[in-house]
Amino acid sequence: MTFLRDPKRLIATLVAGAAGLLVLIDFTGPLPVVSSLAQIILDWTALIAALALVIGLVNVTGNHIGRVVRRGADWGYSLVLLAAMAAVIVAGTLYPLQNPDGGLTVPSSLIEQPVRIVFSAVYTPLASSLLALLTFFSLSAALRAVRRRTTDAIVILVVALAVLVATSLPQLEFAPIIGDGLRWLSDYVVLAGARGLLIGAAIGALVAGVRVLLGFDQPYLDR
């Protein structure tokens, strides 16, 4: 607890711990005073996050504009990034929508139709391409597992192949014995593993949060 000897770190730790405890207590039950304070903290957090996003956007834009002007290394990628950024900003904030009453209005969020069109035309194909590349990585991992010839690797490979065959042949779900086995694996084995992962992640998040509240970890001070 060396931060107790540093007044600046001590004040930052106390402020972060008090704010975190107020928001945490607000989730436990309706307390008028705590709820109002927690809402003020959340509003401040949203405002600071928005300002940080704007500052980061201006910083990134300035850096890439300078690279394009100077014709620096890979300036073409910077130009593509700036063009994509401008397209998304215009589609999400400046592109007018047809109002049901006949007038034009500015999109109120990033889930309106113009941004959906941009994401459907650009982001969705890119995401599908990246996911398609996982096939080759999975095949490479399977080959390495076969070469190692360890029990764990063979078990993982056999389970992966069984799941792949079961999902690629939906007719197996209607088979008398195989279908029941697949449903049992999905309802018990797979669900138990998924719940175990979620519980482990929740415990890890709880421990990390408690350490931040108590001042053992101080990410707001880069420590």
pLDDT digit string, tens, across residues 144-158: 877 877 787 778 778
| Three-point CA angle 194, 198, 204, nearest 5° | 145
104, β-bridge pairs: 98
Give the number of other Cβ atoms within 10 Å of residue 74's Cβ.
8
Q: Which residue has the tokens 């482990």?
A: 200
Average pLDDT over residues 156-173: 74
Cα 96 from Cα 90, distance rounded (Å)? 9
Average pLDDT over residues 8-28: 80
Cα 39 from Cα 45, distance rounded (Å)? 10
pLDDT at residue 103, rounded to an integer? 57
CB 21 within 8 A of CB 213: yes
CB 12 within 8 A of CB 4: no
pLDDT at residue 184, rounded to an integer? 81
Average pLDDT over residues 164-175: 72
DSSP string, 148-194: HT-HHHHHHHHHHHHHHHHHH-GGGGGSTTHHHHHHHIIIIIIHHHH
Is the pLDDT at 41 greater than 70? The verdict is yes
pLDDT at residue 139, rounded to an integer? 80
Residue with more model confidence, 173 or 27: 27
Is the pLDDT at 168 greater than 80? The verdict is no
DSSP string, 117-132: HHIIIIIHHHHHHHHH
Give the number of other Cβ atoms within 10 Å of residue 210's Cβ.
13
pLDDT at residue 97, rounded to an integer? 58
Q: How sure is the predictor about 7, in pLDDT bands with cuts at 50, 70 and 90?
A: confident
| Three-point CA angle 192, 146, 194, nearest 5° | 10
| DSSP state for residue 8 in the 8-state scheme | H
Closest to 74 in 3D by CA, of 64, 84, 83: 64
CA distances to 3, 160, 164, 190, 192 from 195, in Å: 38, 19, 22, 9, 5
User: Which range, 123-132, 161-170, 180-189, has the best average confidence (pLDDT)?
Assistant: 123-132
Residue positions counted in the chain: 223
Is the pLDDT at 176 greater than 80? The verdict is no
Total-model pTM: 0.57
105, β-bridge pairs: 97
**What is the per-residue pLDDT across 46-81, written as a single tens digit (0 to 9) for each?**
899 889 988 998 999 998 898 888 887 888 888 888
**What is the per-residue pLDDT across 92-147, written as a single tens digit (0 to 9) for each?**
776 665 555 655 555 555 556 677 777 777 878 888 888 888 878 878 877 887 78
pLDDT at residue 151, rounded to an integer? 80
pLDDT at residue 186, rounded to an integer? 76
pLDDT at residue 59, rounded to an integer? 92
Closest to 65 in 3D by CA, of 92, 87, 90, 85: 85
Average pLDDT over residues 166-190: 74
